[in-house]
Structure 1
Amino acid sequence: MSDQVLSEPPCRRVSRRSVLQSSAALLSVPFIAKATAAFGQEKIARTGEVVVCSYGGPFTENLRKTVLDPFTKATGISVVDAVADNAEAPLWAMNKAGRVDWDVAMVNAFFPTYLQLQQAGAFLPIDYSLWDDEALKGVPEFARHKDTVVAYQSANLLVYDERAFPKGGPKNWTDFWNIKEFPGPRGLSATYGANLVAALSVLGVMDKGLWRLTDDKIDRALKKLDEIKPHITKWWTTGGETLQLLINREYALTSAPDGRVLVAIKKGFPIRMLWDGAYVTDNHWIVAKGGPNTVNAQKFIAFVNRAEIAAAFTEGTGYPGPNLNQLKYLPADLLPLLSINPENAAKTVRFDVPWFWEKHSDGKTNAEHILERWLAWRAQ
């Protein structure tokens, strides 16, 4: 397996560092979680250090202000920074070499190397006994796994330029297909995940729970996408490209990553988010087996999932951690822009990731099979 995202479309093959750094650099961070005496209680207090891998640049700088330094103040554990755009490949190399230098890292389950690492037992079970009751109740069960916990989620959603529709813009993906009432240049991602979800939502296919892109769904989605394909002026490949085209009025409406859009809105650009049929993906925290400070790593995972710290993480990075209790600590004007807002979350779609790595009847994985069909459709 390669270190690329084999199922490229589901997780948008965009540099995570570039997306996250741009968000962190532009967001204001008025709320810094205060390390209270309660956070220094015995079950997470300790000495020594922990090595945490994140994306570097402004992302890590703001992570330090909002999470890492408060963790040290609360627990006495110092945090050593490690940096990687994609942590999966270095973790695999460390695991194979039998020398693991990191304790905590963010990983993506849609990367093939993630599956290799998990199957090799490279992730320690998360010690939920260290978590506060509030954190256990605030972090949904789908975000708490045996050996990973969601670090943050991102979404690909429909957005439009309010300047293009002064009398009122589209309300959903059905309106995206309505060329007559909502004219203007359109954009979609060059990858498949969000596009297939968009087409299926127009067709009224809004499954509850985790999605599987079975052949019948793909058939229906591609047939619906046939209708809009001639009206796509450009298939975008990066989040930065999407927003630039929108701001330059080369798009009137398009799909786009929520983090990029949030940054643009905070800067004053007249862009509207529409959450119906938004496609959500997760990145996960892991504790590396064989790391030098695994006990401290477990304490860090417990700390970062507390509501006030989760709110600080969200403000500092621009992407929300999973603890829903953080919403009461966030500014009111930020809430409508977040995928974890219950009103928005109810309209989103999340894929059944393990299913994508199961075998299809053609012998390929489901991810490989869907990608092959998508590329064939794009080439027509």
Structure 2
Amino acid sequence: MSEQVSRKLARDRVSRRSVIQSSAALLSVPFVRPTVAFGQEKLAGAGEVVVCSYGGSFTENLRKYVSDPFTKATGIRVVDATTDTAEAQIVAMREAGRVDWDVAFVNPFWPAYLELQRAGAFMPIDYGLWDEEALKGVPESARRKDAVVAFQSANLLIYSERAFPKGGPKNWVDFWNVKEFPGPRGLSADASYADFVAALIADGFTHQGLWRLTEDKVDRALKKLDEIRPHISKWWTAGGEPIQLLINGEYALTNSPDGRALVAIKRGAPIRMVWDGAYVGDNYWIVINGGPNSANAQKFIAFVNRVEVAAAFTQATGYPSPNLNQLKYLPTDLLPLLSINPENAAKVVRFDVPWFLEKRPDGKSNTEHVRERWLAWRAR
């Protein structure tokens, strides 16, 4: 895949730096703080572990509410490394024959992830170190052989309560209903798959019937987008943009990253999140094969997924870790704003990574083909 296409694909998901910046001043509620005894029995050790995350407030909060408690509980010191895209750095380290990190976040959507996985760059996760509550709370689908879901991110419909004081849209069908829900709208200029999901649901598809995005479905989605296009006042390009435009009154309703909306709501913005048809993708924790502290890395992964730590991670970052048992540890006013809330989870659309990475007969991936159709439509 060309560097140019890779950059376009990166923009097609909300950028990771855009995602993490939403946690800068997230919550003013008390955090769950794991006790010293928490994790000592299986996870005690010595030395260090190098954990790569996204920098800025994300790494600061991760250190305060996850890494420092891990050190206190286990005796293992956490060394921070930062980058926006770990995959490229991991490739470079492997090519140089020197792996400096132990743990990192990766995105399975990126082609480099699949290449690294096939090359054996990720160690099998040692689930024998996990406690029973973590194994029960983290769904089996999130516990992969060589990766664990770290957090979910979503693109969902939000609207201004000022624009709709008597109740706003409840789904994407309502988003297309400009008569009952009038006002300027926004959609993402880059997250084409989220826009396709919205258009197909508005056109009558069920959540289960969306994938695969065959030619006839792409045709239907673009035709449906033709209907709403005159009502899109601006196609937003940065993660914080739809929130600001909604608050300023330049939008009445739009799609948006969930973390950005959550932060705005916690700050008192008159915004409502609509989970029906939200487009959800995963980001993974991985242990890098050949890292200097692999045994400690496995202990760190086990610690992060313990229920109290999972709750602390979610509060610290604004994006939910997968342990569902954490819901009983979280503030009640936060629960409606999270994709792992069972009521919300039942309404979302899961991102089908394997299908998008599949190759077509012409040698292009489904991602590249759908992206090309989208760009051609946007250029009209």
| TM-score greater than 0.5 by the shorter chain | yes
Instruction: Please report how far the alpha carbon of residue 220 of structure 1 lies from its aligned counterpart in structure 2 after TM superposition.
Output: 1.7
User: Is the contact made by 2:207 and 2:348 (CA closer than 8 Å) also made in structure 1?
Assistant: no
> 1:331 — aligned with what?
331
Tell me if the contact between 2:169 and 2:175 (Cα under 8 Å) persists in the aligned partners: yes
**Amino acid of the structure 1 residue aligned with 2:224:** K
Give the counterpart letter for 2:157 in structure 1: L
On the 8 A contact 1:33/1:312 being kept in 2, the answer is yes
- Contact 2:45-2:76 within 8 A present in 1 as well: yes
| Range with bigger deviation, 248-257 or 212-221 | 212-221
* Secondary structure in 2 matching 1:23: coil
- Structure 2 counterpart of 1:148, one-letter code: A
Secondary structure, counterpart of 1:359 in structure 2: coil
| Partner SS, residue 81 of structure 1 | strand
Q: Structure 1's 3 and 80: CA in aligned 2 closer, same or farther, altered over 3 A?
A: farther
| CA RMSD across the alignment | 1.8
**What is residue 276 of structure 2 aligned with on the other side?**
276
Identity between Structure 1 and Structure 2 (%): 74
Q: Which residue of 2 aligns with 1:56?
A: 55
Matched, 1:164 2:154: no
CA distance in 2, matches of 1:190, 1:374: 10
Counterpart for residue 240 of structure 1: 240
What are the Cα deviations for residues 198-255 of structure 1, in whole angstroms up to 9, with x where unaligned? 1111223224399432223212211111111111111111111111111111100000
- CA shift in 2, pair 1:320/1:288, >3 Å: same
Amino acid at match of 1:143: A
**1:149-174 alpha-carbon deviations (Å, 9 max, x no partner):** 11000100000011011222111111
1:38-64: CA deviation from partner (whole Å, max 9, x where unpaired): 4100x2111110000011111111111
User: Residues 46 and 296 of structure 1 are in contact (CA less than 8 Å); yes or no, is this contact kept in structure 2?
Assistant: yes
Range moving further from structure 2, 111-120 or 276-285: 111-120
Which residue of the partner structure matches residue 228 of structure 1?
Answer: 228
Distance 1:82-1:29 versus aligned 2 partners, 3 A rule: farther
CA shift, 1:8, in A, is: 4.7
What amino acid is the match of 2:275? Answer: W
The residue matched to 1:79 in structure 2 has which SS? strand
Alignment correspondent of 1:351: 351
**In the alignment, which residue of structure 1 is the partner of 2:131?**
132
User: How much has 1:2 moved relative to structure 2?
Assistant: 5.1
Cross-structure match for 2:151: 152
The answer to whether the 8 Å contact 1:3/1:89 transfers is: no
Alignment of 1:292-311 (within 5 A): 292-311=292-311
* Cα separation, 2, equivalents of 1:60 and 1:292: 21
Q: SS of 2:122's equivalent?
A: coil
Q: Residue 209 of structure 1 contacts residue 350 of structure 1 at CA under 8 Å; is this kept in 2?
A: no
Secondary structure in structure 2 of the residue aligned to 1:82 = strand
SS across alignment from 2:25: helix
Amino acid at match of 1:266: K
Map of 1:101-140 to 2, 5 A cutoff?
101-140=100-139
Q: Work out the number of aligned pairs and report it.
A: 379
Supply the AA of the counterpart residue of 1:280.
V
Greater shift in the superposed pair: 186-195 or 214-223: 214-223
State whether residues 25 and 263 of structure 2, in contact with CA within 8 Å, keep that contact through their aligned partners in structure 1: no
Task: Work out whether residues 66 and 313 of structure 2, in 8 Å CA contact, stay in contact via their aligned partners in 1.
Answer: yes
Correspondence list, 1:1-380, <5 A = 1=1, 6=6, 8=8, 12-28=12-28, 30-41=30-41, 43-191=42-190, 192-208=192-208, 211-380=211-380
Letter in 2 for 1:182: F
Unaligned runs of 5+ in 1: none
CA deviation after TM superposition for structure 1 residue 142, in Å: 1.7
Note the C-alpha offset of 1:15. Answer: 3.4
Q: Give structure 2 stretches of 5+ with no counterpart.
A: none
- Residue identity matched to 1:165: F
- Give the 3-state SS of the residue equivalent to 1:156 in structure 2: strand
* Closer, same or farther: CA 269–207 of 1 in aligned 2, 3 Å: closer
